[in-house]
Chain A
Amino acid sequence: MALDPVQVTDPTATARHATTERRTARFILTGIALVFLALFLVLPLVSVFVEAFRKGPSEYFAAFSEPDAQAAIRLTLLVASIAVPLNVVFGVVAAWAIAKFEFKGKAFLTTLIDLPFSVSPVISGLVYVLLFTSQSALGPWLKSHGIEILFAVPGIVLATMFVTFPFVARELIPLMQEQGTTDEEAALSLGANGWQTFWHVTLPNIKWGLLYGVLLCNARAMGEFGAVSVVSGHIRGLTNTMPLHVEILYNEYNFVAAFAVASLLALLALVTLVLKTLLELRYGAELRAVGGH
């Protein structure tokens, strides 16, 4: 490496050179990273909005006045409003049980909670089809009682719950483990009962981690495609969620409408990312225990 005069006269510059790359190398690496991200992540996002507005704003908004589109939006909101709260309750309880108590098989239980992440969404849907189809053990009983699960809303909710199952629990488990049990022990020794301890001590400690988990859980619940596609039966206006409606419109070559509905989901993703970044900036220290996905 040829030394230029600046390095000789400025010892800190030499030290810096020993533990970082040369200026040109830094420039090239940053360039590669930015171009890669722009090509593979930003461009697809931008194209959603460009395609949606290709025929002007009136065509864009016309896509939402269609009854099937409105039914899809309502169904997506309904499914998320059932699946997310249930998984929040489960996530908090599971994290509580795993972080605050000692028992055998804890590591195994944590692995089981993560299981839906390593299963293909299509297989997540398939397991419910096998469970509730008319050929299954449960099928005839359900039919005789007039209960419809498959190709109806309950099946969509179940499949969504399956794929979003780990989100809240796995954000909270490391957080609660790091916080330990001393706060709860103090509350209990001061005479609080279990519920009071949870409500006034544990919950305030985990609230940002919980919000973080709910955010990711909700984004996935509203956007899930594979699992829901398998159990939904694709009945227009009845069992089509927004992502499924996007697929139908796209396959009918109704591109503007497909991208218009898709742009709502892309907006949801953007809002999720902004909130997530804000949470990380403000409460980074409290969320530090939280790993990736």
Chain B
Amino acid sequence: MTLGFTLAYLALIVLIPLTGLVLRSASLGFPGFWHVATDPRTVNALKISFGTSLIAAVINVIFGVIVAWVLVRYRFPGRRIVDAIVDLPFALPTAVAGIALTALYSRNGWIGHWLDLIGIKVAFTPIGITIALIFIGLPFVVRTVQPVMEEIRKEVEEAAATLGANRFQTITRVLLPGLQPAILTGFALAFARAVGEYGSVIFIAGNLPYVSEIAPLLIVIRLEEFDYAGATAIATIMLLISFFMLFVINLIQAWSRRRYGYGA
């Protein structure tokens, strides 16, 4: 009975609406779908969405791993508070993050003011989009990598050290390969979240078509024009690309598990 309720609720809230999206997209027919998919504005929006998400996810991996390492390995005053703050992007509504980042990075903002002096414009450019996506993606990397780092057994590092490896070699040859599946998972989660992100991006992006217009915003614009077919087609393309990328990452993970014998 509980299973029946679970399935009914799942179907009503999630599955039926999502199926509706797919059916609607199918009713466009291939020519109609292709017309929307190859529209230059759509192609540009998808390029900007996936491009900025990729850069943000890579930056998040680099700094997320450092943050996780510092939190797991080092003891310093306020560590608990710093650890709690990492979850801020999960708790802070995206619209609030969006206007706060815009205030910081606009030409007269605290950070934007300094960047403006050296000629870097952040707000209303793809750099601004990337900054917002770094904000929302960071906890995905830290929270995926952190528990795996905590599980690393000291013996492994000791063995490496007794065999003559210096610290740098121990980290790059012994520790990082073991963390690789977790890092990849964190990357995938941050990337997937970034591609679909809307609230924190639209304020800082400036939303210039062909320059700083993200795919989710183009869906909203099409909806406001009552172009439901166009909105649906863009949504379907986004879902397809996202699922394909997650599938590829799953394959890489399975491969690295076979190679290293363990994984996240």
* Shortest beta-carbon distance from B144 to chain A in Å: 6
Docked-complex contact A277 and B232, CB < 8 angstroms: no
Contacts of B231 in A (CB 8 A): 126
The interface bits of chain B over 15-44 (1 if a CB of A lies within 8 angstroms of the residue's CB, else 0) are 111101100100000000000000000000
Docked-complex contact A37 and B86, CB < 8 angstroms: yes
Bound-state Cα–Cα, A218 to B166, Å: 48
Asked whether any CB of chain A lies closer than 8 Å to the CB of B120, the reply is no
Docked-complex contact A225 and B94, CB < 8 angstroms: yes
Bound-state Cα–Cα, A29 to B171, Å: 14
Docked-complex contact B80 and A33, CB < 8 angstroms: no
Asked whether any CB of chain A lies closer than 8 Å to the CB of B259, the reply is no
The interface bits of chain A over 33-72 (1 if a CB of B lies within 8 angstroms of the residue's CB, else 0) are 1101101111111011001000000000000000000000
Docked-complex contact A246 and B15, CB < 8 angstroms: no
Docked-complex contact B235 and A126, CB < 8 angstroms: yes
Bound-state Cα–Cα, A162 to B110, Å: 37
Docked-complex contact B88 and A243, CB < 8 angstroms: no
The interface bits of chain A over 150-167 (1 if a CB of B lies within 8 angstroms of the residue's CB, else 0) are 000000001001100100
Docked-complex contact A33 and B70, CB < 8 angstroms: yes
Contacts of A213 in B (CB 8 A): none
Nearest B residue to A231, CB-CB: B223
Nearest A residue to B9, CB-CB: A90
The interface bits of chain B over 54-77 (1 if a CB of A lies within 8 angstroms of the residue's CB, else 0) are 000000000100110111011010
The interface bits of chain B over 68-107 (1 if a CB of A lies within 8 angstroms of the residue's CB, else 0) are 0111011010001011111111111111110111011000
User: B2 is contacted by which of A18, A97, A216, A250 (Cβ under 8 Å)?
Assistant: A97
Asked whether any CB of chain A lies closer than 8 Å to the CB of B117, the reply is no
Asked whether any CB of chain B lies closer than 8 Å to the CB of A103, the reply is yes
* Shortest beta-carbon distance from A42 to chain B in Å: 7
Docked-complex contact B21 and A293, CB < 8 angstroms: no
Contacts of B161 in A (CB 8 A): 18-19
Asked whether any CB of chain A lies closer than 8 Å to the CB of B50, the reply is no
Interface-central residue, A42, A44, A133, by most chain B CB under 10 Å: A44
**Do A119 and B239 form a contact, CB below 8 Å, given A29-B69, A230-B220, A250-B203?**
yes
* Shortest beta-carbon distance from A97 to chain B in Å: 4
Asked whether any CB of chain B lies closer than 8 Å to the CB of A172, the reply is no
* Shortest beta-carbon distance from B26 to chain A in Å: 12
* Shortest beta-carbon distance from A272 to chain B in Å: 4
Residue positions of B touching A, CB distance < 8 A: 2-3, 5-7, 9-10, 13-18, 20-21, 24, 63, 66-67, 69-71, 73-74, 76, 80, 82-97, 99-101, 103-104, 109-111, 131, 134-135, 138-140, 143-144, 147, 154, 157-158, 161-162, 166-167, 170, 189, 192, 195-199, 203, 216-217, 219-220, 223, 228, 231-232, 235, 238-239, 242, 246
19 A–B pairs (Cβ distance < 8 Å), ordered by A: A18-B161, A29-B74, A33-B69, A33-B71, A39-B111, A47-B110, A48-B96, A51-B100, A122-B217, A126-B235, A130-B232, A216-B90, A243-B93, A244-B95, A255-B103, A265-B96, A266-B92, A273-B87, A274-B84
Residue positions of A touching B, CB distance < 8 A: 1, 17-22, 25-26, 29-30, 32-34, 36-37, 39-45, 47-48, 51, 90, 93-94, 96-98, 101, 103, 109, 112-113, 115-116, 118-123, 126-131, 133, 135-136, 158, 161-162, 165, 216, 219, 222-226, 229-230, 242-244, 246-247, 250, 255, 258-259, 262, 265-266, 268-270, 272-274, 276-277, 281, 291-293
